[in-house]
Chains A and B, each alone.
Chain A
Amino acid sequence: MPSRNRETWERPPDLPGTHFVDAMAYSDPELFEEEKQRILARAWRFGCHDSELPDPFDFRTIDHAEVPLVMIRGEDGKVRTFYNVCSHRGAKLFNDLSGNARTKTCFFHHWTFDWRGDCVSRPRPQPYEALHLEAEDCGLKEVATDSQYGLIFFNLDDDAGSLTNYLGDALSAFEQTLTEEPVEVFHYHQAEIQANWKQWVESNMDHYHEWMHVMLRRTNVITEETLFHRKAELHSGGHITFRGMEIDYEHEGTIAPREQSKAMPGLTAETFQATPLFPNTVLMTRGTVMRIDTTTPLTPDTSLVEFRGLGLKDDTEEDRMVRIRQHNEFWGPMSHNLPEDLFAAEQCAAGYRSGGAAYGIICREENLSAQDDGGMRHFYAEWSKWMGRSASDPKIITA
């Protein structure tokens, strides 16, 4: 294969437009603004898990979703989301990352709000009377909120359709795991990375990178045979499920074998399964433990990734320790795999940001099995629908 000059390097690959991505999609500031308006402001996005708001009046703030948000479990058990912004003069209302508050009094002029977002008191309200500014005009801005299988989603669009329609059957592979017994988040960390948000989303769909990981090379857990057990199911709405693959952890002493008794409901201890939800959340499991990634774009070149680890709420101390260890082995901030995956995303980002890389190739075809790039193609087909532009030639508006 000869090396290329500028002309041949920058010429679009001789592939169908569905099978490659133009560098612009990762780095163009105007496209980035459009993504925020057309996708992030309109899509159902994962906020947190039920177990993060176990009791009435528990709240959880979300600081990076373009608008500051707060999710609150009401006295009626329902979770609602509000702009975390005081309706008086804009102060951030909840400053703690989590907590419990029956009502919330703004620190600034002491307007007080309840869990329905209603303004329930204003100190010395008489001077408002002349201009008829009533307390009922002073409620918080509510944001659409709904949940499925304990996963709580929000949607910044007041006219959003239902979450049920949005997800369709995308979560079916995780239904039993998430519902048969109560599930609990035991790990949370976030990482601000120097990469476009889609570069992290892709890393959970690009299985071709498997051999980058030393633990997978060394232990030979991915074999030609097991690879072909994996199938990508393409759900409508741009969601995907990768499943069918079982990992044999017994090859070498480096990774401890996993006990069947520790498998989460509906899984074996060797199950390796993932469901990327459009646009920015991925659920995955390695049998004994679950992980949820949520990627939020900050700038075209930087993203905030939240990582959650989940086990069973009623875990014995011993079982929880097993899950923690097995979570940390591949997925913790000091694990074998996660720092390698994040490194890869940042290195790819550097290639595109510099203008050096012109296209990304996603044309592997293996009947949606093994290391087929079909997951990424499915994601970009959906991206194109929302954006009205194709990812391979985003300069051209298609809708």
Chain B
Amino acid sequence: MAVDKEDIRDFLNKVADALDGEAWDDFLSMCVPEFEYRVTAFSYELNKDMIWLIHDMDGLRSLFNVLPEQLGRRGTRMLRQISVTDVTQVGADGRVDVTSKVIVVRTSPEGVSELFAAGRYLDVIDVSEDVPKLVRRETQLDTRELGIGSHVPI
């Protein structure tokens, strides 16, 4: 089965839109039940790979559940700009590995935008059904200075 790169691009843009729009249920509906999400970074200080966040579906669900109560400024928005750089079909199981560059811009409630993070999405996407689904996402951050940080997955 050939993979249509255009479909992959559309799908990842939809995922980014759901995250930008804080439509958490929409986001989760685009993932398989055994979805695994992680945020990683390499520390040049320690010369080590680090995991900054790791969740399965349940973990993400409880994270999203407390988000409305987490302290922070209401009206802060994130915008994820992605560009797909590589799509590799792994085998006959209908899974593809997709690498995208991602730039995240954070905009304050006053409307001031700043670069929040730069990195890559390393995704595994299941394309065997009618609609693609995320099986795994690793957000590999180049940016390690995130200011006060974020409660929202990048």
Residues of A participating in the B interface, judged by any CB pair closer than 8 Å: 52, 60, 96-99, 185-193, 212-215, 217-218, 253-254, 321, 324-325, 328, 332-336, 338-340, 342-344, 346
Contact = CB atoms under 8 A, between A and B. Distances in A.
A343 B45 contact: no
B62 interface: yes
18 contacts: A98-B46, A185-B46, A186-B46, A186-B50, A189-B50, A212-B71, A214-B70, A217-B69, A218-B66, A253-B62, A328-B51, A328-B52, A328-B54, A332-B149, A334-B149, A335-B149, A338-B149, A339-B71
Interface string B62-76: 100110011110000
A343 B71 contact: yes
Given A96-B44, A339-B72, A333 B66 contact: no
The prevalent SS among residues of A at the interface is mixed
A98 B44 contact: yes
B52 A334 contact: yes
B66 to A, nearest CB: 5
Interface centre among A96, A336, A338, A346 (most CB of B within 10 A): A336
Contacts of A185: 46
Interface of B: 39, 41, 43-48, 50-54, 62, 65-66, 69-72, 144-151, 153-154
Nearest to A219: B66
A287 B134 CA distance: 35
Contacts of A339: 70-72, 148-151
Given A98-B44, A334-B39, A342 B148 contact: yes
A188 B43 contact: yes
A186 B41 CA distance: 12
Contacts of A187: 43, 50, 52
Identify whether the interface residues of B are mostly helix, strand, loop, or mixed: loop
A194 to B, nearest CB: 9
Contacts of B43: 187-189
Nearest to A320: B51
A215 B66 contact: yes
Nearest to A325: B54
A188 B47 CA distance: 10
Contact of B149 (A52, A342, A344): A342
A254 B70 contact: no
A267 B145 CA distance: 31
B37 to A, nearest CB: 11
B46 A188 contact: yes
Given A188-B45, A218-B69, A333 B149 contact: yes
Nearest to B151: A339
B95 to A, nearest CB: 24
Nearest to B65: A254
B146 A191 contact: yes
Nearest to B49: A186
Contacts of B54: 321, 324-325, 328
B51 A324 contact: yes
